[in-house]
Structure 1
Amino acid sequence: MIELRPFADLGSANHGWLDAKHHFSFGGYHDPARMNWGNLRVWNDDTIAPHTGFPPHPHRDMEIITYVREGAITHEDSLGNKGRTEAGDVQVMSAGTGVRHSEYNLEDVTTKIFQIWIVPTRDGEAPSWGAKPFPRGERSGHFVTLASGYEDDNDALPIRTDARIVAATLKAGESAEYKIGKDRKGYMVPATGAIRLDDVRIEARDGVAISEVDVIRVTAIEDSEIVLVDAA
């Protein structure tokens, strides 16, 4: 099954400094048909104005992955972690038993991020944070794993859940495959460009929910940057 969720149909909230689009129910946007996709709970498409951001606030029992599309985001938390994650790179916060954090765009330009929340498989553990560069050139033409709950994904950021976040950059006309398995659920969003999955055209920032598919085969119609969550 392949279900297209056009960008124009997503939930939205514009706070001035933050223009947010919600692929799933979040905040004031509620759709009982879009509460989650497997253990994937949130996929927010956030545009953050320069020198603004999310002030300190608490989380617990959630894996929070931030994929930076443009600009940069600066993280600070109650564990003493502080770091700047820029376009193409990823940060992961395992909220665990509880943590307070802030996420600010300290840049002079607009920052655009995907914020992805996945329900953890393991709980009761201390919170943690990490970030890593993933140069777009190193994922040209194929999918690479950015964050993973599996020990054999040594180069990926660790998350405490039965899921992977993978990404690829494709030139127009190029194709890539990802073996997901028919018992899994995939959720894919092109950050840029346009792609084709079977006979479905997916534009930049559209979502597509995938199930009962063994291998995901994607072809780029335009130069594209693709992010995919492989969820339980």
Structure 2
Amino acid sequence: MDVRRAAERYPGGEPASGIESRHAFSFGPHYDPDNLRFGAMIACNEERLAPGAGFDEHPHSHTEIVTWVVEGELTHRDSTGHETRVGPGDVQRLSSAGGVRHVERNDAGTPLTFIQTWLAPLTPGGDPSYEIVHGIADSTPYAVPEAGAMLHVRRLGAGERTAVPDGAYLYVHVVRGAVRLDGEELGAGDAARITDAKDVEAVGVSAAELLMWEMAGQL
């Protein structure tokens, strides 16, 4: 198990424009050849947008993009005609496939924080697609078969336990609160990368919210 603390993330964004980013993997000018990916995961970014701030239209291709809003509301528009608002508890997935353009903005009057994960597809190309699941229930898995991945959302009370899925690659991100994972205490923004996970358990040190990515072996 490899624990990465929130303070170790690479800083990015444009703070003067109301955009603050924290990258868990090698990203943009922060090139680290030893931190390019974990399983199918190639990025896990924490984004903070001030009211009125956002990312203007930009392209993506050959990437599965999954977004989880921590607080606030995200406005999404893309070149396939989708325009949605994403709030806490919603799972949004944009399959960029052979190519798509999108806009992400904070059009609300309150700060926005979201976690965005990028996954490499098993097969590149194809047609882009979009999906949003509003108010996903606790312990309900969300499958991203294009990347051989499964997202498990868990909300724990203090002292409550949950099993971490067994698998070749497990990525556990603490959204809020604190948990104890295999003897290590993790707080908000911390993450653990676990290879060949088996019989691992997470315990809430306080009320907590976890995103647990279960991924197949690299092809």
Letter matched to residue 149 of structure 2: A
Residue 87 of structure 1: CA displacement? 1.1
Match of 1:230 in 2: 214
Q: Is the 8 A contact 2:164 2:212 kept in 1?
A: no
Structure 1 CA distance for aligned equivalents of residues 84 and 143 of structure 2: 17
1:178 maps to which of 164, 175, 189: 164
Q: For 1:61, what is the secondary structure of its paired residue?
A: coil
Taking only aligned residues, the RMSD between alpha carbons, in angstroms, comes to 1.2
Q: After alignment, is 209-218 or 94-103 more displaced? A: 209-218
Q: Does 1:200 align with 2:196?
A: no
Residue 14 of structure 1: CA displacement? 4.4
Structure 1 CA distance for aligned equivalents of residues 191 and 29 of structure 2: 20
Q: Is the 8 A contact 1:134 1:146 kept in 2?
A: no
Q: Which runs of 5+ in 1 are unaligned?
A: 150-159
Written as runs of structure 1 = structure 2, the 5 A alignment for 1:129-208 is: 129-135=130-136, 138-139=137-138, 143-149=139-145, 160-181=146-167, 184-208=168-192
Match of 1:74 in 2: 75
Identity of aligned residues (%): 30
Residue 124 of structure 1: CA displacement? 2.5
Q: Is the 8 A contact 2:178 2:206 kept in 1?
A: yes
Query: TM-score, structure 2 length as denominator?
Result: 0.94
Residue 144 of structure 1: CA displacement? 2.3
Structure 2 CA distance for aligned equivalents of residues 147 and 110 of structure 1: 29
Deviation per residue, 1:99-153 (Å, 9 max, x gap): 1110111110111000100000133210011111135xx31xxx3213431xxxx
Q: Does 1:99 align with 2:100?
A: yes
Residue 198 of structure 1: CA displacement? 1.3
Q: Which runs of 5+ in 2 are unaligned?
A: none
Structure 1 CA distance for aligned equivalents of residues 189 and 34 of structure 2: 20
Query: TM-score, structure 1 length as denominator?
Result: 0.89
Q: For 2:116, what is the secondary structure of its paired residue?
A: strand
Letter matched to residue 161 of structure 1: A
